[in-house]
Amino acid sequence: MTNTQVTHIQIDNYGPWTVTPEPRREVDLQTLQSRLYADLAQLFGNRDGYIFFSRFDNMIAVTNGLDEADHALIQESVGNRYPVTMSLSVATGTTPVSALGTATEQLQEAGSAQDDGRREVLRGQTIDDEFRTDADVQLAHFDVDDATEKYTDQLNEFDTFIQIEQGYAALMKYMREAHDSLSFFVGGDNVIAVCPDLDEADYRDACDHVRDAVDVELKVGVGRGRAPADAGMDAKHALEECRADGATVRFE
């Protein structure tokens, strides 16, 4: 059984800040968002966590192995380096969806995302080290089959982007509704899904659904681990095995 620890990261009062005292240039906002994500990817990644940009003003991290002190240090680092602050809420669950639901509820109870008085909230509980196991995290790394040959080398970039995004949208929705998983586009033709204890048939089901819904073929490597970094590397190795032998699903 998985035991996923999820952190919901939310920039405090971000919407009003972008237009106060007057609207800020969009290019500057995009630069801030991308730099913040890059820094958080390093701050969480150095502690074997994974973070996904989601909507950029709200991000989602898998943080098994990080305790409250780690979260507080990351929060402080951002507050010292950026003109915005962020709130963090941590929760655990046997499915990523349930963990995120609890984390988000804790954040919402602390105040609105656009509440000027709600800043640098840190709520929730982490998994004590004595209760952690090597099966806590299950990550699946999906890849579009032959994306370069089918799309990149055949279509203009925007039409390629449409094909990849259609596959991602179909996968993201189906994995959420059918398998209580959280799936995130991570660039190129890659999607990483944070999953409960799914088996090979579940992943084949997801790939079949995407093929039937939007005519995009997927393959997937699956890894398990004590920390997100461990599960993620195993998933990448399993995906390479798929590429090597033509399989749709591989577990490492």
Encode pLDDT of 31-46 as tens digits.
999 999 999 999 999 9
Do 45 and 122 lie in one domain? The reply is yes
Determine contact, residues 16/116, Cβ cutoff 8 Å.
yes
Q: pLDDT tens digits for 130-180? A: 999 999 999 999 999 999 999 999 999 999 999 999 999 999 999 999 999
Q: Identify which of 48, 51, 77 has the alpha carbon closest to the alpha carbon of residue 64.
A: 48
Do 151 and 242 lie in one domain? The reply is yes
Query: Among 80, 113, 131, where does a domain finish?
Result: 131
Do 146 and 231 lie in one domain? The reply is yes
Q: pLDDT tens digits for 168-225? A: 999 999 999 999 999 999 999 999 999 999 999 999 999 999 999 999 999 999 999 9
Q: Is the pLDDT of residue 120 over 90?
A: yes
Distance set, CA 239 to CA 151, 172, 207, 242, 243 (Å):
20, 18, 14, 5, 6
Q: For the chain, how big is the Rg over CA atoms in Å?
A: 19
The residue type at 130: E
Q: Identify which of 172, 144, 223 has the alpha carbon closest to the alpha carbon of residue 54.
A: 172
Residue 244's pLDDT is 94
Do 171 and 119 lie in one domain? The reply is no
Do 71 and 103 lie in one domain? The reply is yes
Residue 117's pLDDT is 87
Do 201 and 103 lie in one domain? The reply is no
User: What mean pLDDT is predicted for residues 78-85?
Assistant: 96
Q: How many domains does the chain have?
A: 2
Q: Is the pLDDT of residue 2 over 90?
A: yes
Q: Is the pLDDT of residue 11 over 90?
A: yes
Do 76 and 13 lie in one domain? The reply is yes
Residue 154's pLDDT is 96
Do 120 and 13 lie in one domain? The reply is yes
Query: Among 100, 131, 162, where does a domain finish?
Result: 131
Do 8 and 126 lie in one domain? The reply is yes
Instruction: Answer whether the bond into residue 21 is a cis peptide, omega within 30°.
Output: yes
Q: pLDDT tens digits for 49-72? A: 999 999 999 999 999 999 999 999
Query: Among 110, 131, 152, where does a domain finish?
Result: 131
Do 103 and 179 lie in one domain? The reply is no
Determine contact, residues 87/71, Cβ cutoff 8 Å.
no
Output DSSP code: residue 134. T
Do 15 and 69 lie in one domain? The reply is yes
User: What mean pLDDT is predicted for residues 113-126?
Assistant: 93
Residue 211's pLDDT is 98
Cross-strand pairs, 86: 11
Residue 15: give the domain boundaries.
Answer: 4-131
Helices (H) and strands (E) in the chain, counts: 8, 10
Is the pTM above the cut of 0.85? yes
CATH no. for residue 90?
3.30.70.1230
Do 8 and 125 lie in one domain? The reply is yes
CATH no. for residue 150?
3.30.70.270
Q: Could you tell me the sign of the dihedral formed by the alpha carbons of 215, 165, 9, 76, in that order? A: positive
Residue 176's pLDDT is 98
